[in-house]
Amino acid sequence: MSTENNEIDLGENPDLQKEVVPDSELKQFIIQYVGEKTQPENHDVTVAHVVEVFMKEFPEFLLAIAEENWVRGYHQAFVDIEEGEKLAKTETAETETEEDGT
């Protein structure tokens, strides 16, 4: 979704507003490139700036990451469901044992 000033709305994630620290050669390159593309007023390149440029210029990279995260999240949901079912069965068995013993 676009905002009034043609920027892409990336949601409310506070991590997106963090300034990118140039602590590696790759980050230095990305910060310089993204800074030239986005021209932030305070010259601080944030994670949101980087995501915005990658969305426009290298969407297949972000898509691969998003797909991987989705698959992992989906898998984790099934693991959580199975664990919840085991806990529910254990609790039911314990309750039945207590009821039989009284």
- The whole-number pLDDT of residue 8 equals 62
Number of domains forming the structure of the chain: 2
> Are residues 51 and 64 both part of a single domain?
no
Span 48-80, pLDDT tens digits: 999 999 999 999 999 999 999 999 999 999 999
> Helix, strand, or coil here: 8?
strand
> Are residues 64 and 92 both part of a single domain?
yes
Dist CA 51 CA 26 (whole Å):
15
| Residue 16, domain extent | 1-57
Against a cut of 0.75, is the pTM above it?
Answer: no
- The whole-number pLDDT of residue 94 equals 82
> Are residues 73 and 94 both part of a single domain?
yes
Residue of higher predicted confidence among 1 and 33: 33
> Are residues 75 and 88 both part of a single domain?
yes
